[in-house]
A and B are shown apart, each in its own frame.
Chain A
Amino acid sequence: MKDEVTRDERVSNLKGLGCSRKRVEDARFTQGKGNYIDDMNLPGTLTGDFVRSPYAHARIKSINIDAAMALDGVVAVLTAKDLEPLGLHWMPTLAGDKQMVLADGKVLFQGQEVAFVVASDRYIASDAVELVEVEYEELPVIVDPFKSMQSDVVLREDLDPKAPGAHGPRKHHNHIFTWEVGDEEGTNAVIDDADIVAEESMYYHRTHPCPLEPCGCVASMDKVNGKLTLWGTFQAPHVVRTVASLLSGIEEHNIRVVSPDIGGGFGNKVGVYPGYICSIVASIVTGVPVKWVEDRMENLMSTAFARDYWMKGKISATKEGKITGLHCHVTADHGAFDACADPTKFPAGFMNICTGSYDIPIAYLGVDGVYTNKAPGGVSYRCSFRVTEAVYFIERMIEVLAIEMDMDAAELRRINFIKKEQFPYNSALGWEYDSGDYHTAWDKALKAVDYDGLRKEQAERVAAFKRGETRTIMGIGLSFFTEIVGAGPVKNCDILGMGMFDSCEIRIHPTGSAVARLGTISQGQGHATTFAQILASEIGISAESITIEEGDTDTAPYGLGTYGSRSTPVAGAAAAMAGRKIRAKAQMIAAYLLEVHDDDVEFDVDRFVIKGAPERFKTMGEIAYAAYNQAIPGLEPGLEAVSYYDPPNMTYPFGAYVCVMDIDVDTGVPTINRFYALDDCGTRINPMVIEGQIHGGLTEALAVALGQEIAYDDMGNHKNATLMDFFLPTAWEVPNYETDFTVTPSPHHPIGAKGVGESPHVGGVPCFSNAVQDAFRPFGNRHTNMPHDHWRIWKTANDLGMHD
């Protein structure tokens, strides 16, 4: 057969790896035809709404639901008493603790769920919430984790203070765990003997992922078939199914969990919230679908927060600037229940990647988790299990060390980077970094921004400021980060005992198109577009002819979901492996059709050709047709494959960021003049999608560094529960970003891809923060805490005497 199309055209028709393919998702979203949870309207659906605690700590003396029940349209009001006989008034958290579903005897944070009202519409439900009478007796409130560890007040009366917790012995009745990694004695000895030691304490404030769509679900118990269906904003639908089964006793095959379109997740939609459980119970009780969708205030007050780490560091170095040791202690404020979304064996997530991108011979990390009267959670907000905290910590320690040594911080980084030839690199805190080329990335970044020129400009500005010619100063923020994504190998990563593999199942249709289903779920990352690209390159069918489906546990293979940038490193690898299984069978079919031995054919873009005779071939389309319609000796009909992929290691994307900022010292307003971001995420699947992820991640980083905060007063009142008080940047505050890249493939990922979605957030936060702090460095600043909102920046200037 004569081939009309050139090889290059065949490659480009595939729309495979490396192509900036336009997103297939966009058709429905741009036309208002998405299908988010609140768009679900099954006939007869009831609405659930919560009565929430106004107090941060109080005993519940009584709950009177009579007036609420008397209201027309109210169907039920659930309290802990109703859930107790079902064993559902408490639920296990993702961190091995347990959490009240509805307040049981007392409340432990403001906004805690006290009763669940079920009514015929949302207006009546709200009216009924007002009519539920709860009598409280206030108890002393603890908002400070350090005071909590001294206090006589027992926050968690349900826990035996002497019994060990999920991660070992507890030191105090308000203490959750101690987690230690590394060699403390050795590290202390090195630091004690060192030429130079820099010490710093920093607070990584509490914040919130705040996706634009809040959390919600629709639960529907079909009593005829005994099937429970739960639609919801779930980043991990299969895990929800297993947990729902374990909690409810309904067999897992009778539960279907579906994640429809999700309006952003960023970690917020990983956990299991009381709204889900109460909706399930309410649907079981009433026999009709029950919908619960939180409002923004509820989202900010009660669904999972992020960060809240008090970090103390010591870093030592030789006179030449070679780092010799790192000591880190964290006091982690986990709120009322330890509900962190972390792999079981990592009580403080991947905080022990805090040696960062540097070759640090000895290190120690200790974390103490503490209960306080705040909302529980502790999710990895656009990062992989506390990597953001770790990178912020080390990137601040580097800056402080540079100040201590009166050295340039860019040079200090360069001296200490892990060298290219050291990979795979084993860190002092137990990670095996798969691959990296930090020096090349750093040099490229510094050159791109003309780093030396910037420093000159900054020095001139300082001089002009001192002469009184300007009231703005200039900051150059640097950061270099190594992410750790792709949780993870089942041998050391599980959530609630469920191993963190992922999966892909492909079915090729006779006419040569395909459907592939994965255990992950997109919340805006564009999986339907990019996973098809991986498969296109692997199996030689155009991405346009491959449908990707996720998020329905009745059809998708079991997987651990999407968070921690695990989709590409784990499910993407599963897709490639399943594709290779398809190809192996296709090879046998092609050989049969071409009447040669299996070994005599080879894969070429979209076909198998006879080696040395490329004009004799069978396309994947022909092979697919034959697979179904021709009896091939020794082979079953059909062309399908499934892969459950357990990654051998995590992947380690990295990047180099530079931010150039002006600060008006009289108003405290920062203006970002330039932001350069170089990312290395290994093989690039879709450059357009990667860039979009980088813009978005950087903007979320800007928010965290420059103003976003969840704060409480001494009474435990939540101070930022609306978008009036909680900073989400608009187009007005956000700069244009310059993106750049290097490519260092992961050696163990089947296509060399590492994952990218969270990198810009992880690297961005320290970069923005360092820019602010660097601007003040010439005026005597050493460290100031985030968020650098206008007031705090103004105050830094004021404290440094710049208003005198």
Chain B
Amino acid sequence: MTKQIVSMTVNGEKKEVLAEPRELLIYVLREKMGMKGPHVGCETSHCGACTVEIDGKSVKSCTMFAAQAQGAQITTIEGLGSPDNLHVLQENFKEHHGLQCGYCTPGMITRAHRLLIENPNPTEEDIRFGIAGNICRCTGYQNIVKSILSAAAEINAAKEAAQ
């Protein structure tokens, strides 16, 4: 199959890859760009392990062709924080035991990141509904919800302090 050049910005870096039209974004991210964060759990849009952010929306990268991402701004978990400067969500997931095997975690945190931008003051119910596209088989969600609630509080407190 003929390949075409696809260019996109991933975690702030401009990237160009050669991909067949049928290649899924998740594989291009993982195998051609070396990202280990987004995972594959189902390839049918059900589990959310592959969630990334594309142009300001949470997207399951297993159900989108790489070619469709032409020109897009993409953020994966790798782009959310750095080892020396973790994202508040990453800190809070650690603090509140919001993960076990860690397989859902990158997708979960990436989704939560967008959720908190869309709704900076979520109730527990908002969070449960907002992450219902991301499955976790280990934690039973209780500590994930707690992690996100606490991250929201921390972000808001920081905002207030800055004002």
- Chain A residues proximal to chain B, CB less than 8 Å: 22-23, 25-36, 38-39, 41, 122-123, 210-214, 261-264, 266, 295-296, 523-526, 688-689, 691-700, 722-724, 728, 730-732, 734, 736-737
- Give per-residue flags for B123-136: 1 if the beta carbon is below 8 A from chain A beta carbons, else 0: 00001110111111
Q: B137–A32 contact, CB under 8 A?
A: no
Selected contact of A266 from candidates B47, B137, B141, CB within 8 Å: B137
0 or 1 for each of B111-150: is its CB under 8 Å from A? (1 = yes): 0000000000000000111011111111111111100000
B100, A525: Cβ atoms closer than 8 Å: yes
A32 to chain B, nearest CB (A): 2
B15 sits at the interface (CB 8 A): no
- Whether the Cβ atoms of A731 and B39 lie closer than 8 Å is no
Residues of A within 8 A of B61 (CB): none
Chain B, range 15-43, C-beta contacts under 8 Å to A:
20, 22-23, 27, 30-31, 34-43
Can you identify 15 A-B contacts, CB atoms within 8 angstroms?
A31-B77, A32-B106, A34-B102, A38-B30, A122-B27, A212-B39, A212-B136, A213-B39, A264-B103, A692-B139, A695-B141, A695-B142, A723-B44, A730-B133, A732-B132
- Which chain B residue lies CB-closest to A522? B101
Closest residue of A by beta carbon distance from B143: A692
Contacting residue for A29 out of B35, B105, B127, CB 8 A = B105
Complex contacts, B139 vs chain A, CB 8 Å: 692, 695-696, 699
List the A side residues contacting B135 at CB < 8 Å: 212, 723, 728, 730
B contact residues around A696 at 8 Å (CB): 100, 137-140
Closest CB-CB distance, B128 to chain A, in whole Å?
A: 4
Chain B residues with CB below 8 A from A524, complex form:
100-103, 138
Interface residues of B in 70-108 (CB under 8 A from A): 76-78, 81, 83, 86, 90, 93-95, 97, 99-106
Within 8 Å CB of A41, what residues of B? 31, 34
CB distance from B110 to the nearest CB of A (A): 9
Are B95 and A22 in contact, CB atoms less than 8 angstroms apart?
A: yes
CB distance from B126 to the nearest CB of A (A): 11
Partner of A731, one of B41, B86, B105, B141: B141
8 Å CB contact of A30 from B42, B94, B141? B94
Taken together as a complex, chains A and B put the C-alpha atoms of A700 and B93 apart, in Å, by: 21
Given A212-B135, A296-B44, is A699 in contact with B103 using a C-beta cutoff of 8 Å? no
B67 at the interface (CB under 8 A from A): no
Take A123-B20, A264-B101, A524-B101 as given contacts and tell me if A32 and B140 are in contact as well, using a CB distance cutoff of 8 Å.
Answer: no
A261's nearest neighbour on chain B, judged by CB, is B102
Q: Taking A26-B94, A724-B46 as contacts, is the C-beta distance between A36 and B39 under 8 angstroms?
A: yes
Asked whether A213 lies within 8 Å of B41 as measured between CB atoms, the reply is yes
Question: Which residues of B40-54 have CB atoms within 8 Å of chain A's CB atoms?
Answer: 40-44, 46-47, 49
A523 neighbours in B (Cβ, 8 Å)? 101
Which one of B77, B99, B136 contacts A26 once the chains associate, using CB atoms below 8 Å? B99
Shortest A735–chain B CB gap in Å is 9
CA distance A63 to B76 in the complex (A): 43
> Which residues on A sit within 8 Å (CB–CB) of B59?
none
- How distant is B3 from chain A, measured CB to nearest CB, in Å? 11
Known: A33-B36, A696-B139. 12 other contacts (CB 8 A): A34-B102, A36-B36, A212-B137, A213-B101, A266-B137, A296-B47, A524-B100, A696-B140, A723-B42, A730-B132, A731-B129, A734-B141
B94 touches A27 (CB 8 A): yes
Smallest beta-carbon distance B155→chain A, Å? 16
Interchain CA distance A699-B106 in the complex, whole Å: 21
Chain B, Cβ-Cβ closest to A40: B36
A295 surroundings in chain B (CB, below 8 A): 43
Q: Are B145 and A296 in contact (CB under 8 A)?
A: no
B109 on interface, CB distance cutoff 8 Å: yes
CA distance A212 to B135 in the complex (A): 8
Nearest chain B CB to A121 CB, angstrom units: 8
B137 near A264 (CB under 8 angstroms)? yes
CA A261 to CA B104, docked complex, whole Å: 13
Identify A32's interface contact among B36, B95, B143, CB under 8 A: B36
Distance in Å: Cβ of A112 to nearest Cβ of chain B = 21
Smallest distance from the beta carbon of A682 to chain B beta carbons, Å? 21
The reply to whether B103 and A526 contact each other, CB–CB distance below 8 Å, is no
**Of A29, A296, A699, which is in contact with the most chain B CB atoms at under 10 Å from its CB?**
A29
The chain A residue sitting closest to B43, CB to CB, is A295
Tell me the smallest distance from the CB of A631 to a CB of chain B, in Å: 43
Residue of B nearest to A20 (CB): B97
Cβ of B145 to closest chain A Cβ, rounded Å? 7
A543 to chain B, nearest CB (A): 16
In the complex, residue of chain A having the shortest beta-carbon distance to the beta carbon of B104: A212
Give the shortest distance, in Å, between A333 (CB) and chain B (any CB). 25
Distance in Å from the Cβ of B118 to the closest Cβ of chain A?
Answer: 16
A296 and B100 within 8 A (CB): no
CB of B85, distance to nearest CB on chain A (Å): 11
> How close is B23's CB to chain A, nearest CB, in angstroms?
7
> Are A734 and B140 touching (Cβ within 8 A)?
yes
Is A34 a contact partner of B103 (Cβ separation < 8 A)? yes
Determine the distance from Cα of A737 to Cα of B146 in the docked complex, in whole angstroms.
13
Query: Which A residue's beta carbon lies closest to that of B144?
Result: A731
Q: Which residues of B contact A35 (CB under 8 A)?
A: 36
In the bound complex, do residue B41 and residue A296 qualify as a contact, i.e. CB atoms below 8 Å apart? yes
Q: List residues of chain B with CB within 8 A of the CB of A262.
A: 101
List chain B residues, Cβ under 8 A from A736: 142
CA distance A36 to B106 in the complex (A): 13
Contact status B77-A212, CB under 8 Å: no
The answer for the CA separation of A694 and B140 in the assembled complex, in Å, is 8
CA distance A723 to B40 in the complex (A): 13
Given contacts A26-B102, A212-B47, A692-B143, contact A731 B131 (CB under 8 A): yes
* Residue ID in chain A nearest B40 by CB atoms: A38
Q: Is the CB of A29 within 8 A of B97?
A: no
Task: Decide: A731 and B128 in contact? CB cutoff 8 A.
Answer: yes
Most A C-beta atoms less than 10 A away, residue of B36, B76, B135, B138: B138
Contacts of A38 in B (CB 8 A): 30, 39-40
* Bound: A689/B143 CA distance, A: 11
CA distance A734 to B35 in the complex (A): 31
Nearest residue in A to B147 (C-beta to C-beta)? A30
Q: Once the chains bind, are A31 and B90 in contact (CB under 8 Å)?
A: yes
Known interface pairs A26-B99, A30-B99; A211-B137 also in contact (CB < 8 Å): yes
For B140, the chain A residues whose CB sits under 8 A away are 692, 694-699, 734, 737
Q: Are B46 and A722 in contact (CB under 8 A)?
A: yes
Q: Is there an interface contact between B31 and A32, defined as CB atoms closer than 8 Å?
A: no
In the bound complex, residues from chain B placing their C-beta under 8 Å from that of A25 are: 102
How far is B76's CA from A39's CA once the two chains are assembled, in angstroms? Answer: 15
The interface centre, meaning the residue of A122, A699, A737 with most chain B CB atoms within 10 A of its CB, is A699
Closest to A739 in B: B142
Most chain B beta carbons < 10 A, residue from A31, A691, A700: A31
